[in-house]
Structure 1
């Protein structure tokens, strides 16, 4: 059965309106393709919408329902991942330190399926041509490399003036996010739970659950942001 131009226009307008509403529902994280899961989901949603408009289907409502259900599932998974740290790691992955204290971590490269050529190519995108300039490099879940240079390479003024600040004692790293303790990060910086609880007590905080975000700074001090009280 041939579909009229009028029906194509109507279905296109409906698809456009529904897709616009759904993308607003999914939020900016989905639109920005922060992770591979978000990226694949975005492509799938676009493909479903494109097929609805371009293919001569006889049952438009079924495909529209499929689009809505897919977006609702994505929203549900996003909500669950916010509540479950383990599920968030499964879906989004976690940052991986590939260069630590100026040395390449071979195990981390193998884990992230990167080779030396891939790593050096990513470094050159930051105008870094020597690994000796780097203190830490972290591969984020979205595939972007975050780099902390050694102090003497952080600004030309310091190097030109022969001012070489000492290396930081710690790499700034989050310890608590959304009321949950990140145990592996606490171990990474060589701190114990007792130390953390003592620091929280100094800030008049009794429980980890009261903290929205906390990170260890380069000088070893703990930055704390509590949940906002309503």
Structure 2
């Protein structure tokens, strides 16, 4: 649940509770309030789906707390967590030592996503049939395209350009306007999800 959903849920509950308890409140006034909050929630949900920048403002963004086994103190402070709380979240994932963690990401829902170091992962990764260039590898899977738009800041961080993205889309037999989401994997391959996927029944 995002912070906005939390607030609207409390507000709608408060309005409904007041209508039930306080006889001085007109039913029409209460209904208008409920419809207003409901309409606002639906409107924000629609805008949230269409505009990534608005989504970042309303929902926030995931924060990397542990990167390549090292705790990022500034990120920890930004997420309003201390080291003990981070350890607690790790223990909930059955992780009891920082040295076992490759990446830990604090999600907007308040949950912690953990990627263990390869040596600590329960299953071995499959051997890749090909080698990829170092500049096309990602430390963790990263968004390249979302809602049909290229995430330029992620391209810069990964040291790749639009030409490489266009080349991968061409190899996959698609173009940018047809792509809903694309993600660069750790092995350098590009996962692509097209718009209006067709499912077999």
Q: TM-score, normalised by structure 2?
A: 0.85
Q: CA deviation at 1:62?
A: 0.6
Give the corresponding residue for 2:145.
Answer: 176
Note if 1:198 corresponds to 2:160: no
Give the corresponding residue for 1:91.
Answer: 58
**Between structures 1 and 2, the one with greater helix share:** 1
- The 1-side partners of 2:65 and 2:157 are apart by 14
8 A Cα contact 2:63 2:107, kept in partner = yes
Note if 1:223 corresponds to 2:191: yes
- The 2-side partners of 1:51 and 1:227 are apart by 44
8 A Cα contact 2:67 2:104, kept in partner = yes
Give the corresponding residue for 1:69.
Answer: 36
8 A Cα contact 2:140 2:185, kept in partner = yes
8 A Cα contact 1:170 1:216, kept in partner = no
Q: CA deviation at 1:174?
A: 2.2
After TM superposition, the structure 1 = structure 2 runs for residues 148-163 of structure 1, keeping only pairs within 5 Å, are 148-155=115-122
Give the corresponding residue for 2:110.
Answer: 143
**Structure 1 unaligned blocks of 5 or more:** 1-33
Give the corresponding residue for 1:107.
Answer: 74
- The 1-side partners of 2:22 and 2:177 are apart by 51
Q: Aligned pair in 2 of structure 1 residues 201, 221: CA closer, same or farther (>3 Å)?
A: same
User: Over aligned residues, Cα RMSD in angstroms?
Assistant: 2.3
* Bigger Rg, which one: 1
Paired residues in the alignment total 189
**Structure 2 unaligned blocks of 5 or more:** 128-136
- The 1-side partners of 2:75 and 2:68 are apart by 14
SS in 2 for 1:128: coil
Give the corresponding residue for 1:15.
Answer: none
Q: CA deviation at 1:190?
A: 3.2
Give the corresponding residue for 1:19.
Answer: none
